[in-house]
Amino acid sequence: MPADEWRAAESAHRRTADELTAGHRERAGRGERHPVEDFLFTYYSLRPAQLRRWHPGGRTVLLGADDRADWRFQRTVRTSSGIGVTVDVDAFLEARGPAVTFTLELLTATAAATPHFGCFGLHEWAMVYRQDEEQVRHSAWPLRLGARGTDEVVESHRIRCSHHDAYRFFTPEARPRNLLAPDAGNRPQLEQPGCLHASMDLYKWAYKLQPWVSSDLLLRCFRFARYIREIDMRASPYDLAPLGYAPIRIETTEGRAEYVAEQRVIAARGSELRAELISVLEQL
């Protein structure tokens, strides 16, 4: 890729990343926290400055990129068009080989699993089960049904959470109510494409495997994850209407149907991005 072409792509990426993170950075400067829009920077480890760093992907050589030659996992190569910089595959695999293998196995297993659409987002309810309102994770926002009403929803539904990182935040009283016991060891066996968090995590797998994974794919996963978080919290027990998020009332028949419809859309889009990530890792 010629220097003028990739530097233009880099600048466009930085502008987009800055736009996507502007609200978070402004709130961080004021010491404020948003339960939806800030989640991707508290639950996941990638910082805004890292998101704005542009990578073309592992199969591209950037010409005239001497300033990148000392970046981690980069090497200088000579091509018929000139000297350029590309991903040092050997160094990358030496450092990240186990992570590449694990991620490819997990994504492949998830893609092959049968999607389940009967969880109704109850993981967020199980995270506050039998807690006082001041104890809950997002204590700045009230529970729509109050503490007792929230507990009754948990007690009147079957909980089937298959995602380890969601299940580990269940309250001790809620954990025995889950039909599954997901943990780090059985993750490839339990994760399934109908799970919102499994699709949200595509963002995590994308950034953990940069620079081989392109920033274009990363930003698409980021946008998708932020949309999923919105659906996740609209279906949660919290009242976020003052922030402009109309609740998905999963305690009602109509609300559960609305949630499943959103879940199916997310599963379909997640399957597309998952297949793209699998292909990129198979090339590696």
In this predicted structure, the answer to whether residue 140 has a pLDDT above a threshold of 90 is: no
Structure tokens at 271: 């399957």
Structure tokens at 163: 């995602």
pTM equals 0.95
pLDDT at 224: 98
Domain ranges of the chain: 3-283
CA distance 129 to 123: 10
134: Cβ contacts below 8 Å, ≥ 6 apart: none
* pLDDT single digits (tens) 51-71: 999 999 999 999 999 999 999
Rounded to the nearest 5 degrees, what angle is found at the Cα of 140, between the Cα atoms of 154 and 142? Answer: 40
Q: What's the pLDDT band for 280 if we cut at 50, 70, 90?
A: very high
Mean pLDDT of 20-28: 96
**76 bridge partner residues:** 85
Query: Three-state DSSP class for 276?
Result: helix
CB 115 within 8 A of CB 274: no
Q: What's the pLDDT band for 139 if we cut at 50, 70, 90?
A: confident
Which of 51, 2, 64, 56 is CA-nearest to residue 22?
Answer: 51
pLDDT at 72: 96
